[in-house]
Amino acid sequence: MGRRLFHSLILVYALCGASSQADAQSATEISFVEICAAGDSFTMGDGLLGPNVSQTITGSFFISRFPVTNSQFAAFIADGGYAERRDWTANGWAWKGSITQPAHWKDAEFYGPDQPVVGVSWYEAVAYCNWLSLKEGLTPAYDSCGRANLGASGYRLPTEVEWEYAAAKGAPAQEERIYPWGDAWDSRKAVCRVAPATASNTACVGSKSPQGDTPQGLADMSGNVWEWCGDNAQSDGGISDSGRLDRYFFQGDSKTEYMVLRGGSWWNNFTNGFRSAFRGFSLQPGSRHKVTGFRIVRR
């Protein structure tokens, strides 16, 4: 397994789909899996859900093995992330006002160091990505309007196509799956409330590993928290009509826009919400809830 070390934060990469050996994340370590997808196509949708059209991934990308945790987000807070204008989009900075931490921060049910951070808006997730990029000497992916440069070296939220590809396929040689782990639903493999499961809050990231992981080793792609994507919400028909490679769809990050979330959460009690193709949930970028978090990618 190859490893690349960066300054400030140590980012452990599992190359070409092999699982990382890191068992947990911390404020000084984020584990990534490389999705070797350059030129590969897949069906966005699974027959029952989604537009069910072919999409192409133009380049490989690294995606964090777990959602970002409280301990990792705490480093952003401690480093003055809420006070640093350069990390934020223009609309995000205006939205932030006097906010200095996520909603529900230090709530005893959700504040374990290895639980995924919740109560973060899309704006806060983007600011975290820009902050981390600058800490590592990388070019931030987001401009002041919230549009991502997919070719930038810095961190960003996954596009909706990248997220679904990682959850449902992950590599050219893989068959597409309904759920991250396979085609059969199993409540034991996701942090959820689908009977007999009875989750009452988030769990530590990776609590359902390895049985709930993708073949590449991505954890919590179904359940635990809904995950922000970089895209604005778009109808299935809009996707079907789009011929753009990578299909990154961004209109803007104003409070009137809606941004895509994927993956289902601990609160959900219906199985369709955990399918890799489910795209029926979007929120305004300033929304903050106990069921929403994020993971990050870079090229």
**Residue 176 and residue 287: Cα distance in Å, rounded?**
32
3-state DSSP assignment of residue 95: helix
Using DSSP, state whether 259 is helix, strand or coil: strand
Taking the C-alpha atoms of residue 206 and residue 112, their distance in angstroms, rounded to an integer, is 13
pLDDT digits (tens, 9 = 90+) for 109-156: 999 999 999 999 999 999 999 999 999 999 999 999 999 999 999 999
| More confident site: 241 or 238 | 238
Q: Walk me through the domains of the chain, giving residue ranges and CATH numbers.
A: 42-54+68-299 (3.90.1580.10)
Residue 172, φ and ψ in degrees, nearest 5 = -55, -35
Query: Which residue from 221, 226, 223, 216 is spatially nearest to 187, judged by alpha carbons?
Result: 223
* Whether pLDDT at 73 is above 80: yes
User: Residues 75, 81, 86, 87: is their CA dihedral positive or negative?
Assistant: positive
1-19 residue pLDDT tens: 232 323 333 343 333 333 3
What's the pLDDT band for 246 if we cut at 50, 70, 90?
A: confident
